[in-house]
Structure 1
Amino acid sequence: MNDGNPLNMMPAYKRNLLKDPPHLLKNFHYEDVLGFLELGREEKFQKGETVVNENDRVSSAYLIAEGKVGVWRDGIQLAVLEEGSFIGETFLFSKQNRMAKVISENQSVLLSFERYDVLSFFRKKPEKLFNIFTKNIIEIQQKKINNMNSQLLNLKRRLLSGDNW
């Protein structure tokens, strides 16, 4: 039912992201979350479809709007990312190649954000907003490092204890 309310005319995933913004947009005002989401280009993926390949040049990031994706390197699944997670969130600061392959785990909708568009968005906003964005990226990276350290510690414990896998 269309009652003329602009929120009712946008996809359900965008309404959900506005209601519960992803960590990368934490502490943004509603209007800024909406403006940022509007930058994203919707891309749909089927189960098993590649989102990004390892060694691709980084010029964009992806927000998982619906579904799940797996992060793979050398045939080993490193992580499963769900709705609200970003892929390649350091794209504004790094022009290195992608470090892993990302494959859709089911039917997924991702929003693709290009470096130039995001930088233009922040140039038009108060500097404080970019500082918040940068702080959020650091928090996300710290969480990933903590997770990797926990995984490494568990592997070392298993190796040292002589557990048969």
Structure 2
Amino acid sequence: MTRSDSNKLNMMPLYMRNLLKDPPHLLKNFHYEDVLSFLELGNEERFLRGETIVNEHDRVQTAYLVGEGKVGVWKDEIQLAVLDEGSFIGETFLFSKQNRMAKVVCEENAILLAFQRYDVLNYFRRRPEKLFNIFTKNIIEIQQKKIENMNIQLLNLKKRLLGNESWK
């Protein structure tokens, strides 16, 4: 790392340094420089507890990375998940032009990085194709994990509905 890189790093907010030190799963297997340049695409947005970040049925144009704080994912007044530092919201935004499926609300004061579809697509157009392939693979892994978690929740609900509480 050059002196100028070191100075740049020291001037970054703590949450950015933490994301560089421990990159989110979506950026797994990116080189340090690629993680840094990708994070720099994001626009910092600050939210207070209780503020809505995205509404259900909003058009998907933006993905968010939680830099600091916690956000909740809600559907029909039921909290589906709580996401914290390093979690992405709407990571399939490059591939889907559909509407949001859930509402996201700030659970505690938070700083998020907002990534616009157009900016991210241009970013990958200027990089080796391999980097986009890694990014796509990471999205697939994240989606597989979400499906696995949903299957576990569904199984637990079915067991409870069948009345066998000992299966939890």
TM-score of the two chains, using structure 1 as the length reference: 0.95
- Picking from 117, 120, 126, the partner of 1:118 is 120
Superposed CA deviations along residues 48-91 of structure 1, whole A, max 9, x for unmatched, are 00000000000010000000000000111011011100000000
> Which residue does the alignment assign to 1:32?
34
> Which residue does the alignment assign to 1:76?
78
Secondary structure in structure 1 of the residue aligned to 2:162: helix
In the alignment of these two chains, the number of paired residues is 161
Secondary structure in structure 2 of the residue aligned to 1:96: coil
Runs of 4 or more, structure 1, over 2 Å off, are: none
* Structure 2 counterpart of 1:128, one-letter code: K
- Picking from 148, 159, 162, the partner of 1:157 is 159
Gaps in structure 2 of 5+ consecutive residues: none
| Residues in 1 aligned to 2:120 and 2:69: alpha-carbon distance in whole angstroms | 23
Gaps in structure 1 of 5+ consecutive residues: none
| Residues in 1 aligned to 2:164 and 2:147: alpha-carbon distance in whole angstroms | 26
> Which residue does the alignment assign to 2:43?
41
- Picking from 27, 37, 56, the partner of 1:54 is 56
* Structure 2 counterpart of 1:124, one-letter code: R
4-13 vs 97-106, which deviates more?
Answer: 4-13
| Residues in 2 aligned to 1:63 and 1:162: alpha-carbon distance in whole angstroms | 39
* Structure 1 counterpart of 2:138, one-letter code: N
> Which residue does the alignment assign to 2:17?
15
Is 2:106 aligned against 1:104?
A: yes
Secondary structure in structure 1 of the residue aligned to 2:97: coil
> Which residue does the alignment assign to 1:142?
144
Superposed CA deviations along residues 9-48 of structure 1, whole A, max 9, x for unmatched, are 1111100000000000000000000000000000000000
Superposed CA deviations along residues 87-123 of structure 1, whole A, max 9, x for unmatched, are 0000000000000000000000000000000000000
Secondary structure in structure 2 of the residue aligned to 1:105: strand
* Identity within the alignment, %: 77
Secondary structure in structure 2 of the residue aligned to 1:112: strand
Could you tell me how far 1:162 is from its partner in structure 2?
5.6
